[in-house]
Amino acid sequence: MAATIQRAPGPARSPGLVRGDIQERPPGSVIEIPSRYRAFYGVTHQWALNEATAALTAGQQNVPDSVQLDAKLDFYALARVIIWSPRATGGQGKIQLYRDREQLFAGAGGGNESVGRYLSSLGVFQYPQYLSAPLPIRGRSTFKGVAGDFQTVAAALTIRMLHYGYVALRDPVVEHRWYAERVPASYMADFTAEGPLAAPIGANKTVPLSVPIDPDGDFEVRKIVIVSDGEAKIQIKNADTRAEWFHKPVHVWLLGGTTIDADPPSGAWPFLLPDETPEFIKARGALVVTAQDLSGLSNRLQVIFEGDKLKPAQGLAVSP
């Protein structure tokens, strides 16, 4: 679904009914963004230290991790990505997914619910697996992952999995709007000595940082680049709507993050938000990034938001 409609300049006109809204095109405006009723969202399953479900011990199987969906939100998964440790052999672990009682992967384990797909058969690290159609998880549903260690040589296993797509809302997350110009732009949450906090993230610390948006145009996030010294988790919140991107903080490797000196680095394989749901932040608004160090050491981290600045026609103020 196209995110915008672009037309050549012409006489002002009414674009017609958009979920109850009729709006004339301001003079000089050629880019129309219809009202949007979908918001980017991600849901995680985690078997890891200090999470609700602990990492698997050697040979452990049939270990569930469940997410109860908010009663007011229908979630539609468009893609998934998974990471594991140890990296060399952990892909031999297996996982089965359940939507309430419905089993989503082929496999029958004779009572072992973790018999499903090898972790390595799913989207991994910087290479998400895109679904052929949205997977709906209705409000109040239980979305469950069941994991097991099936490594040839049994070993402890850490697993983190992100399902991402959108939630469908009754009220628009973006009202019908018009613009004159779309230009590339980027903003950054800089957790380094040169950033606003004048320091990296302390060992095992959690630090919030606000990223203000310029007053001359609204901003749409279309991709994210993340680099750091070591492992970390982040949560991202739109300060205007107070909506968080994920149901729990997410490991940066699940968002295409890499170490600063990785080859290839995150910048070569950025995390792409779905075309249906670029994140929209109003001019003078802000994104708030809360970062948590997992490395146990001082951790330099940059979260870079890339996308488009949307500018109104000359002489017109940015819509409130």
Torsion of CA 96, 101, 106, 112, to 10 degrees: 60
* Final residue in a domain of this structure, among 168, 199, 214: 168
- Is 285 part of a structural domain of the chain? yes
- Is 25 part of a structural domain of the chain? no
SS3 83: strand
Tell me if 215 sits within 8 A of 283, measured CB to CB: yes
Are 43 and 154 found together in one domain? Answer: yes
Closest CA to 219 of 280, 303, 174, 275: 280
The pLDDT of residue 179:
93
| CA 154 from centre of chain | 32
Are 95 and 127 found together in one domain? Answer: yes
- Is 174 part of a structural domain of the chain? no
* Structural domain of 47: 38-168
Are 224 and 307 found together in one domain? Answer: yes
Closest CA to 179 of 318, 1, 22: 318
* Final residue in a domain of this structure, among 143, 168, 193: 168
- Is 205 part of a structural domain of the chain? yes
Instruction: Specify the pairing of strand 206-212 against strand 301-311.
Output: unpaired
The pLDDT of residue 27:
81
Are 90 and 140 found together in one domain? Answer: yes
Are 162 and 237 found together in one domain? Answer: no
- Is 70 part of a structural domain of the chain? yes
The residue written with tokens 């983190």 in the block is 160
Are 207 and 302 found together in one domain? Answer: yes
The pLDDT of residue 109:
66
Closest CA to 133 of 178, 79, 197: 79
Are 152 and 262 found together in one domain? Answer: no
What CATH number does the domain containing 232 carry?
Answer: 2.60.120
* Final residue in a domain of this structure, among 121, 148, 168: 168
- Residues of 193-227 as b/e, b for ≥16 C-beta within 10 angstroms? eebeeeebbeeeeebebebebeeebbbbbbebbbb
Are 265 and 184 found together in one domain? Answer: yes
Q: Identify any residues that bridge with 146 across adjacent strands, giving them in sequence order.
A: 64, 96
- Is 280 part of a structural domain of the chain? yes
The pLDDT of residue 126:
83
Ranges of beta strands (E only) in 62-168 are: 63-68, 74-85, 94-99, 102-103, 117-118, 129-137, 142-148, 158-168
Are 151 and 186 found together in one domain? Answer: no
The pLDDT of residue 3:
42
Using alpha carbons, list the distances in angstroms from residue 299 to 126, 191, 192, 292: 21, 8, 8, 9
- Is 94 part of a structural domain of the chain? yes
Are 44 and 151 found together in one domain? Answer: yes
| DSSP assignment of 285-320 | -EEEEEEEE-SSS-B-EEEEEEEEEEEPPTT-PPP-
Tell me the residue type at 189.
A
Structural domains of the chain, count = 2
Are 148 and 186 found together in one domain? Answer: no
Mean pLDDT by 10 residues, the chain (320 residues): 40 37 70 93 97 97 95 94 96 96 84 91 90 96 97 98 96 91 97 98 98 96 98 96 95 97 92 94 97 98 98 70
- Is 6 part of a structural domain of the chain? no
Are 138 and 206 found together in one domain? Answer: no
Residue 18 gets the label, from left (phi > 0), alpha (psi -120 to 50) or beta, of beta
